[in-house]
Structure 1
Amino acid sequence: MRLLYALFLSGIILAVGLSVALPDATLVAGGLTLAAAAVGLVLVNRTQRIIALLLIGVGLASVVLALMFGGQFDGRNLLSVNQDLIGMLTAVSFLRLVIPTVPNTRTRLRGRLAVVRTALATHALGAIINIGAVGIVGDHLRGRSALRLADAALLTRSFSAAAFWSPFWAAAAAATTLVPGANSLVLLLVGLALAIVAIGLSLWDIFHLWGPDLPAYTGYSLSWALVRVPLALVALVITAHQLFPSVTVPRIVLIAGLSVTLIGLLITNGRGALRALARHARHDLPQLRGEVTLFASAGVLAVGLRMLLPLFDLPLPVSEFTVPVAWAMILSMVLCAIIGVHPVVSVAIVAALVHPLHPDPTLFVLAACIGWGVSTAVGPITGLTLLLSARYGIDSITLTRRNLVYLAAVLVAAWPALLLCAALV
């Protein structure tokens, strides 16, 4: 079953990549995504299965209701189930093969500067390899003892802020799929600036958390070997998007990620490069079954909502998608996360609700990325907090309460970031 699942995911990556030149290949990717979701329902745990079935059930019920109320049926829409997002997510996982997992530099930095360096290292890794960065840095910080709450807070904040700007995160891919046409350069510049500000503001709280132990803190080393792949990939994605604006960012990220991985493996591993890729596809891709099943199920929900909601004249208190509306969207996504709703679900619901306002794509995607990132840090049952709880014994509720300081910093800084975004587009 796991081998079949790995074949489906590999097929999705291939089909999404081919859709750059052969647009109809995306339909094949959509069919493979539905097949992967069906197999994933068997492989995931009970809680994930219930959530996925609920999302699929609501999505299919929405399709049926839409047809009953005179909605138009388009078979192609039923095959638009986040396949680009899933293809990108699975392809980016291959980057773990070429990014070092152990710091290879030694430094005498201690105290506040070591905290800042650890935050930057976590952020740089998290921007590219996603949640795998938390395990890499967390295992190093833990050493032979338990991970401290201060380090857990540092990890969540530094990692989650990458969602504000990184094209390698599912946040940007999901939002771009729902509202295409965003300016990736504006998203990167404004989102990165917000991430730096948010991390900087929240570090003062981290310093306070360490108390008298702060001067002896050494943290995680930041080296050129660690950041060169992220920097190269970001430059490659931005350049490619400017040269080929009609190609969606998730597809560019997929191709860029696989290309860099293959080149890196050929340089470092020579003839073993293809074997390393095959081994990752067979053994590591199935480990993403939870995220893939959730995103595919949310895609079915989004299809149903896109068919159903336009048939009703839902009264909205606003007539256009302005900066205050975008900020309120961030807040609503955070509130959903606190009660256990995954951002991929909340952003799909919000997108369907604001669709009649014809939101500016760049403003919408930035708000979605901010909401997704901060929700990841403060949601008590997000993948990030559950990982920290299961792997390091960190209490999710305690960590959520501690990260409310970070939430406040992001909400304050998000307003001028949205204003800047609106002025640039």
Structure 2
Amino acid sequence: MRLLYALLLSGVILFVGLSVALPDATLVAGGLTIAAAAVGLVLVNRTQRIIAMLLIGLGIASVLIGVALGGTVNGRDLLSVNQDLIGMLTAVSFLRLITPSEPTTRTRLHGRLAVLRTALATHALGAIINIGAVGIVGDHLRGRTALRLPDAALLSRSFSAAAFWSPFWAAAAAATTLVPGANSLVLLLVGLGLALAAIGLSVWDIFRLWGRDLPAYTGYSLSWALVRVPLALVALVIIAHQLFSAVPVPRIVLIAGLGVTLLGLLIVNGRGAVRSLARHAKHDLPQLRGEVTLFASAGVLAVGLRMLFPLFELQLPVSEFTVPVAWAMMLAMILLALVGVHPVVSVAVVAALMHPLGPDPTLFVLAACIGWGVSTAVGPITGLTMLLSSRYSIDSVALTRRNLVYLAVVLVASWPALLLCAASV
């Protein structure tokens, strides 16, 4: 079953990549995504299975209600089930093969500078290899003892802020799939500025948490070997998007991630490069079954909502997608996360609600990415919080409460960021 699942995910990657040149290949990728979701329901744990089945059930029910109310069914729309997002997510996982797992330089910094360096290292890794960065840095910080709450808070904030700008995150892929056409350069510059400001402001709370132990803190080292792959990939994606603006960013990320990985493996491993890729596809891709099943299930829900909502005359209290509306949308995503709703679900819901307003894609995607990132840090049952809880025995409620400081910082700092975004498009 795991081998079949690995083959299905490899097929999704292949056909999403091919859709850059052959647009109809995305339909094959959509069919493979649905098949992967079906197999994933068998492989995931009971809680994930219940959530996925609920999302799929709501999506199918929405389609059936839409048909009963006179809506039309489009086969292409039915196969638009987040395959670009899933293809990108699984392809980016290959970058772990060329990303160093341990610091390559000896630390000389202590105290506040070491805290800041650890935050930047986590952010740089998290921007590319996603949640794997938390395990890499967390294992190093834990050493032979337990990971402490200040480090857990630092990891969650530094990692989640990457969602504000990184094209390698599911946040950007999901939002641009729902509302295509965003300016990736504006998203990167404004989102990265907000991320650095949020990290810089919130580390003062981490300083206070460490108290008397702060001067002895050494943290995780930041080196050129650690940041060269993220920098190269971001530059490659931005240049490719400017040259081929019609190609969706998730597909560019997919091709760039695989291309850089293959090149890196050929340089380091030569003839063993293909073998390393095959081993990762067979053994590591199935480890993503929880995320893939959730995203595919949310894709089915999004299909239903896109069909159902236009059949009702929902009277929103606003007639234009402005900065205050974008900020309120972001806040709604965060509040939903606090009660256990995953951002991949909330972004599908707010996209369907905002569709009648004809939102500017860049402003919508930035607000969605900020909402997704903060939700990841403060949601008590997000993948990040559950990882820190299960792997390092961190109290998820205590971590959520601690990260409310980070939430307040981002809520304040995001307003001028959204204003700047609106003025840039």
Q: Which residue number in structure 2 is paired with residue 26 of structure 1?
A: 26
> Which residue identity is paired with 1:380?
P
Please show how residues 140-155 of structure 1 align to structure 2 within 5 Å.
140-155=140-155
Distance 2:107 2:235 in 1: 28
Once the two structures are superposed, residues 61-86 of structure 1 have per-residue CA deviations (whole angstroms, 9 ceiling, x without a partner) of 00000001110111111100000000
Distance 1:108 1:73 in 2: 62
Q: Which residue number in structure 2 is paired with residue 86 of structure 1?
A: 86
> Which residue identity is paired with 1:348?
A
Distance 2:73 2:136 in 1: 46
> Which residue identity is paired with 2:309?
L
Distance 1:228 1:314 in 2: 48
Please show how residues 342-361 of structure 1 align to structure 2 within 5 Å.
342-361=342-361
> Which residue identity is paired with 2:180?
P
Once the two structures are superposed, residues 273-326 of structure 1 have per-residue CA deviations (whole angstroms, 9 ceiling, x without a partner) of 000000000000000000000000000000000000000001100001000000
Please show how residues 9-408 of structure 1 align to structure 2 within 5 Å.
9-408=9-408
Q: Which residue number in structure 2 is paired with residue 414 of structure 1?
A: 414
Deviation at 1:119, TM superposition (A): 0.3
Secondary structure at the counterpart of residue 155 of structure 1: helix
Deviation at 1:107, TM superposition (A): 2.2
Q: How many residues align?
A: 425
> Which residue identity is paired with 2:125?
L
Distance 1:184 1:71 in 2: 34
Distance 1:201 1:275 in 2: 44
Distance 2:339 2:372 in 1: 14
> Which residue identity is paired with 2:148?
R
Secondary structure at the counterpart of residue 192 of structure 2: helix
> Which residue identity is paired with 1:267?
I
Secondary structure at the counterpart of residue 76 of structure 1: helix
Once the two structures are superposed, residues 166-222 of structure 1 have per-residue CA deviations (whole angstroms, 9 ceiling, x without a partner) of 000000000000000000000000000000000011000000000000000000000
Distance 2:337 2:231 in 1: 31
Secondary structure at the counterpart of residue 181 of structure 1: coil
> TM-score by structure 2 length?
1.00
> TM-score by structure 1 length?
1.00
Once the two structures are superposed, residues 205-255 of structure 1 have per-residue CA deviations (whole angstroms, 9 ceiling, x without a partner) of 000000000000000000000000000000000000000000000000000
Q: Which runs of 4+ in 1 moved over 6 A?
A: none
> Which residue identity is paired with 1:135?
G
**Structure 1 unpaired stretches of 5+:** none
Deviation at 1:108, TM superposition (A): 1.3
> Which residue identity is paired with 2:423?
A
**Structure 2 unpaired stretches of 5+:** none
Once the two structures are superposed, residues 345-366 of structure 1 have per-residue CA deviations (whole angstroms, 9 ceiling, x without a partner) of 0000000001000000000000
> Which residue identity is paired with 1:212?
R
Distance 1:318 1:50 in 2: 36
Once the two structures are superposed, residues 335-391 of structure 1 have per-residue CA deviations (whole angstroms, 9 ceiling, x without a partner) of 000000000000000000010000000000000000000000000000000000000
Distance 1:50 1:332 in 2: 24
Percent identity of the aligned residues? 85
> Which residue identity is paired with 2:221?
S
Secondary structure at the counterpart of residue 197 of structure 1: helix
Secondary structure at the counterpart of residue 118 of structure 2: helix
Distance 1:304 1:7 in 2: 27
Once the two structures are superposed, residues 399-424 of structure 1 have per-residue CA deviations (whole angstroms, 9 ceiling, x without a partner) of 00000000000000000000000000
> Which residue identity is paired with 1:193?
G
> Which residue identity is paired with 2:10?
S
Distance 1:4 1:201 in 2: 46
Cα-Cα RMSD = 0.3
